[in-house]
Amino acid sequence: MATTKASLDALVIGIDIGGTGTKFGIVDRVGNVLFSGEISTKKHAEVETFIEELHKALSELIEKAGGVGRMKGIGVGAPNGNYYTGTVEYAPNLPWKGIIPLAKLIEDKFKLPVVLTNDANAAALGEMMYGAAQGMKDFIMITLGTGVGSGIVANGKLIYGHDGFAGELGHSIIIPDGRMHEGTGKRGSLESYASATGVRLTTLELLNNTDKPSMLRSLNPDEIDSKKVFEAASAGDELAMEIFEYTGKILGMALANAVMFSSPEAIILFGGLTKAGDLILKPTREHMEANVIQIFQNKVKILVSHLKESDAAILGASALAWELQ
């Protein structure tokens, strides 16, 4: 909550909407998150009550930061967020179905200009402006959370694509006829393996289909999550280590395909799964290298975001708002 000289100038608001919670904050030009907060996304079956609570919570922060007059605008990162239309469309992880005119709803409520994109695109902008991608013109941002998001920067610009939805690497098919994704109904996508959800599913499969010993067997299946698997792997549990190896293998294959597509300088990973460190990074690197053709080998850095996790999502979303006129 440090207030620096830059905070005397214009400020922006960053809102990051996730499937579980929504983080928001007020950010200055150099990337200080001056004030921040969080509300639940999941508990709002209706988007209107969500906007209501968001407005209430943010209004307090806006007052503390000097009032709405200092706010240049609002940047929003949301799953399936469309930069061109300001809508969120058919987001499998959000409670609101169909096409939601989210930018318009927020704009009307806050009386401030709003720009929206998907959460991973916002994260990519945050890394480019404040993080590991400063100075890079070609990189790919991958967020490994409940789902897998991605933002692709080429020629120094975010790729939004023809209709504003580019960067859905998480839904690319890596294992044909593989694991079913509950949200999309598609089989074998990256997200169904290389997300926190995917790690949980891999664990349940391995516990059910093998009789390998593991400390994870002592847990109630409902308790098993990627954090528990990480703890077990860190304690030397072989089954848990195998789970990360497998997750890294699939992520590495997906990254190989992404590298051959857009030939980035670096891939920047962010999110819960990166906390597993080399348990996941080592197999990811190995399988990426094993699957790229020679011209790409030993060239592409895999970096872990060094932005503070609590700030990164807000910074990313806020980075969008600086582009507003």
Note whether 214 and 188 are within 8 A (CB): no
Of the residues 57, 265, 322, 324, which one makes contact with a copy of itself according to CB under 8 A: 265
Window 91-110: residues binding a copy of itself (CB under 8 A):
92
Query: Is 163 a residue that touches a copy of itself (CB under 8 A)?
Result: yes
Can you tell me which of 58, 129, 152, 196 binds a copy of itself, judged by CB under 8 A? 152
Task: Candidates 31, 66, 172, 242: give the one binding a copy of itself (CB under 8 A).
Answer: 172
- The b-or-e profile of 136-156 (16+ CB within 10 A means b, else e) is beebbbbbbbbbbbbbbbeee
Pick from 178, 94, 191, 193: nearest CA to 143 = 191
CA-based torsion, 42, 275, 121, 67: positive or negative:
positive
Write down the least CB distance from residue 189 to a copy of itself, Å.
8
Contact criterion met (CB below 8 Å) for 78 and 94: yes
- Give the integer Cα–Cα distance in Å for 70 and 285: 45
Told to check if 1 binds a copy of itself by CB under 8 A, we report no
Q: Name which of 153, 136, 114 is nearest 258 in CA terms.
A: 153
- Interface residue with a copy of itself among 65, 174, 251, 303 (CB under 8 A) is 174
Paired with 158 in beta bridges are 153
Residue 36 in contact with a copy of itself, rule: CB under 8 A = no
CB of 202 to a copy of itself, least distance (A): 15
The answer to whether residue 168 forms part of the interface with a copy of itself (CB under 8 A) is: yes
At residue 209, the 3 state secondary structure works out as helix
User: Among 38, 53, 138, 225, which residue sits at the site for a copy of itself (rule: CB under 8 A)?
Assistant: 138
Q: Does 323 bind a copy of itself (CB under 8 A)?
A: no
- Minimum Å gap between C-beta 83 and a copy of itself is 11
CB of 131 to a copy of itself, least distance (A): 17
Q: How far is CA 195 from the centre of its chain?
A: 10
DSSP string, 242-279: HHHHHHHHHHHHHHHHHHHHH--SEEEEESGGGGGTHH
Return the range that interacts with a copy of itself (CB under 8 A); candidates 49-57, 107-115, 257-265, 305-313: 257-265
The reply to whether 186 sits near a copy of itself by the rule CB under 8 A is yes
Residues forming contacts to a copy of itself in the complex (CB under 8 A) are 80, 89-90, 92, 136-139, 152, 154-155, 157, 159-169, 171-176, 184, 186, 253, 256-258, 260-265, 291-296, 299
